[in-house]
C-alpha cells in the first residue's frame, strides 16, 4: 500500500507556504513571472499564481509553461516511450523578469537542468528561482530549490496527484520493488 506523504489539506498547505515565501521574497511583483514545467508543474504554478495575486491584488504576473522533453539528457532511454510533447509558451519578455520555475518533484536535478536550457532559448532573465512541491533528495546535479513545500527523502517513486487531472490532491511514495 502506498505511503501518503501529503493528503489534500497538507497539499494545499504546501502550496500556500510556497506562495507566501515567493511573495515575501519578491516584493516587486511587476518583475515577477511564474513558469510551470509540464505537466504537473503547470497546475501547481497556476495555483501559486492565483495565491500570489490574492496576496497582491491589482497586480499582473506573467505566466508561462515549459515542456522539457526534447531537452532531456536521457532522451535515448525513452526510445519510443516519449511522452506526449506539450506546449512551451513564454508570452512575455524575460529580460527584466525574476522567473519562478515550478515543478512537482525535485529528485536528480536533470529535469530542472533541461528546463534551464529551454528558458535560456527564450532569453536571459534577471534571475531564476526554483519552487517544488516535494524535494526528495538524492541529487545528481548541483541544483537546489529555494522554495520547497515538503522535504521527503526517498528512493521510492513519488506520485503526485493533482485535482485538475487526477480528481484529488495527494502525494504518495510507491515502492517499485
Residue 70 — very low, low, confident or very high, per pLDDT cuts 50/70/90? confident
Residues 6+ apart with CB under 8 A from 157: 173, 174, 175, 176
What's the mean pLDDT in 118-136? 96
What's the mean pLDDT in 87-103? 95
Task: Evaluate if residue 80 carries a pLDDT over 50.
Answer: no
What's the mean pLDDT in 13-41? 96
Looking up residue 46, the CATH number of its domain turns out to be 3.40.50.2020
Mean confidence (pLDDT) of the chain: 92
Report if residue 79 sits inside a domain. no
What's the mean pLDDT in 106-118? 95
Q: What is the pLDDT of residue 77?
A: 56
Number of structural domains in the chain:
1
Report if residue 77 sits inside a domain. no
Residue 38 — very low, low, confident or very high, per pLDDT cuts 50/70/90? very high
Q: What is the pLDDT of residue 82?
A: 56
Which of 114, 60, 52 has the alpha carbon at shortest distance from 83? 114
Q: Look up residue 142 and give its three cell numbers.
A: 548541483
Task: Evaluate if residue 168 carries a pLDDT over 80.
Answer: yes
Q: What is the pLDDT of residue 163?
A: 97
Report if residue 101 sits inside a domain. yes
Report if residue 112 sits inside a domain. yes
Domain ranges, residue 43:
3-72+85-174
Per-residue 3-state assignment (H helix, E strand, C coil) for the chain: CCEEEECHHHHHHHHHHHHHHHHHHCCCHHHEEEEEECCHHHHHHHHHHHHHHHHCCCCCCEEEEECCHHHCCCHHHCCCCCCCCCCCECCCCHHHCEEEEEEEEECCCHHHHHHHHHHHHCCCCCEEEEEEEEECCCCCCCCCCCEEEEECCCCCEEEEECHHHHCCCEEEEECCC
Amino acid at each position: 500500500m502506498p505511503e501518503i506523504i501529503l493528503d489534500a489539506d497538507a497539499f494545499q498547505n504546501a502550496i500556500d507556504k510556497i506562495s507566501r515565501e515567493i511573495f515575501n521574497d519578491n516584493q516587486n511583483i511587476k518583475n515577477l513571472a511564474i513558469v510551470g514545467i509540464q505537466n504537473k508543474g503547470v497546475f501547481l504554478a497556476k495555483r501559486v499564481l492565483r495565491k500570489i495575486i490574492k496576496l497582491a491584488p491589482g497586480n499582473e504576473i506573467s505566466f508561462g509553461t515549459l515542456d522539457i522533453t526534447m531537452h532531456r539528457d536521457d532522451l535515448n532511454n525513452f526510445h519510443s516511450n516519449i511522452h506526449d510533447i506539450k506546449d512551451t509558451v513564454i508570452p512575455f519578455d524575460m529580460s527584466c523578469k525574476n522567473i519562478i520555475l515550478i515543478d512537482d518533484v525535485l529528485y536528480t536535478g536533470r529535469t530542472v537542468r533541461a528546463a534551464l536550457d529551454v528558458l535560456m532559448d527564450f532569453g536571459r532573465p534577471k534571475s531564476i528561482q526554483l519552487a517544488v512541491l516535494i524535494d526528495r533528495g538524492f541529487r545528481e546535479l548541483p541544483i537546489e530549490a529555494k522554495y520547497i513545500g515538503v522535504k521527503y527523502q526517498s528512493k521510492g517513486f513519488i506520485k503526485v496527484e493533482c485535482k485538475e487531472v487526477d480528481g484529488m490532491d495527494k502525494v504518495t511514495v510507491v515502492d517499485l520493488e
